[in-house]
């Protein structure tokens, strides 16, 4: 059984917080949505002047780690730029 969206969101945020040590910025989950068994989480950096290319590999790694650990989990982390 896959964990509830809130639990998965928390796990993702914990891993993003760990990644902040390697990045010069923090990443935050800003929006979550569950659609047909898929969990969609929007992730934004905490500051301007960050390109999506600067962190998309981190998102991919987090997706892979959690999907391997939680069988049956369908997770998509969506990179976004901070809202103005």
Domain extents in the chain: 5-79
Q: Locate tokens 């809202």: which residue? A: 83
Three-state SS at 47: coil
Tens digits of residue pLDDT in 13-61: 999 999 988 998 999 999 999 999 999 999 999 999 999 999 999 999 9
Query: What topology does CATH give the domain 5-79?
Result: GMP Synthetase; Chain A, domain 3 (3.30.300)
pLDDT of residue 45: 96
Q: Locate tokens 């969101």: which residue? A: 9
Report the C-alpha gap between 39 and 59 in whole angstroms.
Answer: 14
Query: What strands lie across the sheet with 74-79, from one edge to the other?
Result: 27-35, 38-45, 74-79
Report the C-alpha gap between 10 and 47 in whole angstroms.
Answer: 21
Report the C-alpha gap between 60 and 81 in whole angstroms.
Answer: 17
């Amino acid at each position: 059984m896959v964990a509830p969206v809130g639990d998965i969101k928390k796990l993702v945020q914990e891993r993003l917080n760990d990644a902040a040590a390697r990045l010069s910025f923090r990443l935050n989950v800003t929006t979550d949505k569950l659609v047909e068994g898929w969990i969609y989480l929007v992730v934004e950096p905490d500051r301007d002047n960050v390109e999506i290319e600067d962190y998309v590999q981190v998102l991919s790694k987090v997706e892979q780690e959690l999907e391997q650990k939680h069988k049956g989990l369908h997770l998509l982390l969506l990179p976004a730029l901070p809202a103005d």
